[in-house]
Amino acid sequence: MTEPSPRYTPYAPETAEGCSSSSVPCVPLVTCAPHYDQLKALPYATCRLHGGALGVCCPPEEKSSGDRTRLLEQQPVDVKIRPISKEEINDAARTGLWDLVERDLLEKSLQERNIVVSDSRSAAFGHLQFFKTSPEAMKIGRDGLLVARTSNQLVRRFNLTPLQAGFGLVSFNTKDTIIENTCPSGPECDEKSKFYRNIDGSCNNLQNPMWGQARTPFQRAVTPHYADGFFAPRKSSRDGSLPSARAVSVSTVIDVDQPYPDVTLSIMQWGQFIDHDLTHSPIFRFGNKSGIECCNDRGREVDPSFRHPSCFPILIPENDPFFARFGRRCMNFVRSMPAPRSGCGLGYVEQMNQITHFLDASTVYGSSERELEELRDRSRGLLRVQESTGLLPADPDAEEGACEADRESNHHCFLAGDNRVNEQPGLTVIHTIWVREHNRLVTEMARLNPHWAGETLFQETRRILVAEIQHIIYNEWLPIIVGPRYAQSRSLLPLRRGFSQDYDASVNPNILNEFATVAFRFGHTLVQGMLRLFDRSGRTSEVLQLRDNFNTPTHLYTPGKLDEFLRGLASQRAQRFDNFVTRELTNHLFQMENHGFGMDLVALNIQRGRDHGVAPYNELRAACGLPRATDFKDLHDVIPPHVVSIFASLYRHVDDIDPFIAGIAETPVEGSLLGPTFRCIVGDQFIRLKRGDRFFYDNAGLPTSFTEAQLHEIRKVSWARILCDNGDDIEHMQPLAMRSPVGINEKVSCESPAIPKLDLTPWISSPH
């Protein structure tokens, strides 16, 4: 590890004038960003930094109430079944292997008959490309499917109930059977992994080196609710039927323009960027990676004789207010891939996360050595960019239809650590900014340490960049989402000085299925259907309709557009968290040119929750401490009565309500963007991501720990600083770019001490 340079002198905050105490330091607003609402209400909270820049007097730091130790934990289900011998498992596995052969033959037949999603101009094609599946995930997914088929054979052979199938079989595993090769072996943890993150997330936890690793299963907070106990999509607990996901969407979701008064679109865009750093559940596809067709080009279900077993199409009501005019009765939907569960157990299926489970900038660096090699410029630790523009590297091999490129102008789509980078321009922009930040840091670190080899430059810079992202999330983004009081009570607020002692090797950081599939999709309600771009003078320069810009990132090749998008993220206000979602997402998702319709993201979210067997809303709210509802009227405590009435008309029982649609309908808790159930699940996951990450940026006493001087500098970072440093020509920005530029957060020069700069001299080391 590097030692601080003798040339480094930490900035000494000035004594504030006008504060309640002369000993209170005057600091930049970002230092106490979580307390922004409190500060803006106090006229005596402001002060002057050196040079006259506006600063603030932070309120005293409070200690946690201790609630941080409480984590959602799935309650064990103790179900006994008759002993099953290894030979009986082998017999079931042989049949399971034959099932896969039959599946392969069916897939070959479907491809020969062209029953595949082949229209590159369709929304279904664009959606399938959004869920690209890596070669590594394809192999592991097949292993997971074989284990599931083996479990299925045991269920049939012994006539097991759903409860026995899901939980009785978990006490048996595939070890010492003919399919023991489906059981993933743990990684080898070398000396380097003690100091630097492995690119696939392995060896973070030295006692459980697969925790957080890419291409491993999600975990659960609540017992899964599969219809057959182990894999079939969730159905009604009463008669088996659930309303069409599209019917639920159109009945409960409308498009109303209700933006926040002081929260910018950056809050939404960061949410998507964080999500793509944490979750990516691959879907089934053919071996040649072509898409599985569940609905034909006329918008009808594929003939059952030629339907792929992974199809789970969304049925569109005949009287649908939008899709009926196009004659659509079916929306394509393909199920997610499983992964063999930890311990190689049989029983219920868990879906795969094909990226790392950590906040580790896998969006920038990828989640496999193969991906990283595509992104690295081996000269002096840099990442590849297009030299003339500083844009992300071109990806001319992007599949036709997956992304709209202007090949005649050599304006290709982009390559990044996450393959969803081209999905919409705001996402592409934030990817671009962070790759530039990496290269900016490398350049400065190379100047300060000319004796460092390229690998050292790369790894040390990666450490800093991940720390920057983590600090911005916990300092600026998360307190807005869950509320500062909630965050403080669970030790989620960053310390202003010193080190954290929060690392706990017993905390499994793996992403909760309920988080990935339900709660963290709350950001879809924040999306603006019209993207506003802003020029240098702060005026709107262009307005883009979202439906015209899915998988179309070529705007960024126009000089000046990158900055216009950045100013838009820091100026346009985000929509409120509620059950109002822009029709750009509910009717026009992935809409292609010359098509009048796309897909419905709300319906897809509902269907994905059923696909993953996520427990219904009533189970999740009870796990989060709300009283279990016995009647629809019991939901009035957190959901408006008129929405509850709609639920009562759609669902036969309160236990059937889908968790996503109910979660976005909850009234936000005071001080938070989210309602109580989603806040509980999101908060729980971010506790895991902090306490279960050995490399978390403010950990103390580990080989991975920064020095105190280095940590002092990392705490200066802000989203505003990243924008100032990495835009083409950003000259002014508000200190908190996730907040509107008003009051104590007015725009200032990027050179102002109100937007502090990182001093990298603490990373200077002596040549050895």
DSSP string, 208-273: STTTT-TTEE-B-SS----TTSSSSPP--SSSS----HHHHHHHH-B----EEEEEETHHHHHHHH
233 plus 180 within the same structural domain = yes
- The tokens describing 109, both together, are 């037949």
User: Quick one: pLDDT at residue 288?
Assistant: 72
Q: Is residue 101 part of a domain?
A: yes
The one-character DSSP state at 47 is: E
Are 233 and 327 members of one domain?
yes
pLDDT in tens, 397-431: 775 556 887 777 788 899 999 999 999 999 999 99
Q: For residues 644 and 621, what is the distance between their CA atoms, to the nearest angstrom?
A: 15
- State whether 49 and 174 are in the same domain: no
Tokens of 300: 């009808």
Which residues, other chains included, contact 22 with Cβ-Cβ below 8 Å and sequence gap of 6+?
15, 16
- 50 and 94 housed in the same domain: no
Q: What share of the chain is helix, strand, coil (3-state, %, to 5)?
A: 40, 10, 50
Q: Give residue 456's Cα distance to chain centre.
A: 29
Shared-domain flag, residues 52 and 126: no
In a domain, 691, yes or no: no
Kindly give the interhelix angle for 454-472 and 719-726, rounded to the nearest 10 degrees: 130
Judgement on whether residues 61 and 91 belong to the same structural domain of the protein: no
pLDDT score recorded for residue 3: 45
Burial class from Cβ neighbours inside 10 Å (0-12, 13-18, 19+) for residue 718 reads buried
If you count DSSP H runs as helices and E runs as strands, how many of each does the chain have, helices first? 23, 19
Neighbours of 507 (CB within 10 A): 19
Residue 618, SS3 per DSSP: helix
Q: How big is the CA angle at 190 (ends 188 and 191), to the nearest 5 degrees?
A: 165
For residue 585, the surrounding DSSP H or E stretch is: helix 583-586
**Domain total in the chain:** 2
Are 190 and 201 a contacting pair, CB within 8 Å?
no
Between CA 751 and CA 766 the distance in angstroms is 30
Same domain (yes/no): 52, 180: no
Provide CB contacts within 8 A for 560, sequence distance 6+.
728, 729
Residues 133 and 100 in one domain: yes
Q: What residue type is 524 in one-letter code?
A: H
Q: Which domain does 185 fall in, by range?
A: 86-242+284-353
Same domain membership, residue 110 and residue 29: no
Please check whether residue 370 lies inside any domain of the structure: no
SS3 29: helix
Cα–Cα distance list, 75 to 5, 220, 221, 623 (Å): 51, 10, 8, 10
Same domain (yes/no): 142, 35: no
Contact 416, 435 (CB under 8 A): yes
Between the CA of residue 588 and those of 75, 530, 573, 595, what are the distances in Å? 40, 13, 21, 9
- Can you tell me the distance from the alpha carbon of 601 to that of 660, in angstroms, rounded to the nearest whole number? 11
**What pLDDT is recorded for position 370?**
93
Environment class of residue 585 by beta-carbon count within 10 Å: exposed (0-12), middle (13-18) or buried (19+)? buried
For residues 622 and 187, give the distance between their C-alpha atoms in angstroms, rounded to a whole number.
37
220 and 150 housed in the same domain: yes
Rounded CA separation 235/241 (Å): 6
Q: Which residues contact 41 (CB under 8 A, 6 or more apart)?
A: none
Q: Domain end: 313, 335, 353, which one?
A: 353
Residues contacting 52, CB < 8 A, separation 6+: none
**Are 134 and 199 contained in the same domain?**
yes
Active site members: 276
Q: Is 546 a member of any domain?
A: no
Residue 65: what pLDDT?
A: 58
Q: Is 667 helix (H, G, I), strand (E, B) or coil?
A: coil
- Cα 145 to chain centroid distance, Å, stands at 25
**Domain ends where: 42, 69, 96?**
69
Boundary residue ending a domain (353, 371, 400): 353
Q: Are 52 and 25 within 8 A, CB to CB?
A: no
**pLDDT single digits (tens) 616-673:** 999 999 999 999 999 999 999 999 999 999 999 999 999 999 999 999 999 999 999 9
Query: Which tokens go with 554?
Result: 């070529």
Q: What is the pLDDT of residue 399?
A: 57
- Residues contacting 523, CB < 8 A, separation 6+: 268, 271, 272, 275
User: Do 744 and 730 form a contact (C-beta atoms < 8 A)?
Assistant: no
Please identify which residue in the block is written with the tokens 């900035």. 11
Query: Is 693 among the domain residues?
Result: no
Element (H, E) at 685: helix 676-691
Does 504 map to a domain? Answer: no
Give the count of beta carbons closer than 10 Å to the beta carbon of residue 238: 11
pLDDT tens digits, one per residue of 222-262: 999 999 999 999 999 887 799 999 999 999 999 999 999 99
Judged on CB neighbours under 10 Å (0-12, 13-18, 19+), 22 is exposed
Tell me the HSE value of 562 on the side-chain side, using a 13 A CA sphere: 21
pLDDT at site 69: 53
Selection from 757, 756, 759, 755 nearest residue 732 by Cα: 755
Kindly state whether residue 37 falls inside one of the protein's structural domains: yes
Q: Could you tell me if residue 138 is inside a domain?
A: yes
Low-confidence residues in the chain, pLDDT < 50: 1-6, 9, 11-12, 14-16, 68
DSSP 411: B
